[in-house]
Amino acid sequence: MSYQLNINNTPAKPFNSFKSAPKVKKGYMNYRYHNSEAVETHTKVKALAGSVLGAGISAAIVAKTQKVKLSNPLNLFKLKYGVKELIAVSSLSIIGGVIGGMIGSNKKKEKMDEGVFQFMNATVPLLFVHPVTKFLENSKSLKDNKIARIVGIAASLLVGMKGAAVLSNFINDPNDKVPDRKLTMKDAVANIDDALGALAIAKVPFADKVEKIIPLIFVWCGYRAGQSN
């Protein structure tokens, strides 16, 4: 059997074309925990612009349904956010961010996948928290028990986030060909609205005021999806 020789007349390594184990591990961990590669500034700008536009459109729709005039921009802080409003704002913000980030990009699949992840992470926990909150409010024994309500909301929030991750990974990769996208601390930002609800129950000062910045939270989610690579 003959081997290819290099200039030093020594056998060439047959596996030179394969990535080293550390590189493979790094790529695996980057994908799993969403450690982004360097993103071009113009991609960040387009993702942010698209997300802001999506949030603006959704806020205008919510304002119209609530008969709030946006001729005064400060009226944005008068909008009330229920389940339908939160889903509308989150979905349009994320769609806008993904579309903006996809313009001129060769990472469209990655952005679509992250958009699915961000949308699920923003909405599925809400669908868990809302019925639990309603149950606690209608329970005579638990209605005035702040600790029980906070624990109930926190538990349903965590279950919802885990469920959102499992569901989005299945949608993006039904045949399980790539490592699952795992939740990170940054992903928890999308659920600040639910966390603020728990703080409001506990009578934490300013919790209800901070809730007014919910559109900005979803702009962040849309931006993350649009600049994902």
Residue 67 within any structural domain of the chain? yes
Residue 151 within any structural domain of the chain? yes
Gap between the Cα atoms of 206 and 209, Å rounded: 5
pLDDT in tens, 60-88: 999 999 999 988 888 888 888 888 888 89
Half-sphere exposure at residue 180, Cβ-oriented, CA atoms within 13 angstroms: 14
Q: What is the pTM of this model?
A: 0.74
pLDDT in tens, 112-139: 998 998 899 888 888 888 888 888 878 8
Gap between the Cα atoms of 178 and 11, Å rounded: 35
Residue 213 within any structural domain of the chain? yes
SS3 of residue 201 by DSSP: helix
Residue 23 within any structural domain of the chain? no
Gap between the Cα atoms of 168 and 115, Å rounded: 9
* Total structural domains within the chain: 1
Residue 103 within any structural domain of the chain? yes
Residue 8 within any structural domain of the chain? no
Low-confidence ranges of the chain (pLDDT < 50): 2-7, 14-18
Provide the pLDDT for residue 48. 94
What CA–CA distances, in Å, run from 41 to 38, 48, 57, 98, 220? 9, 11, 24, 15, 16
Range of the domain at 215: 38-174+183-226
Gap between the Cα atoms of 147 and 134, Å rounded: 16
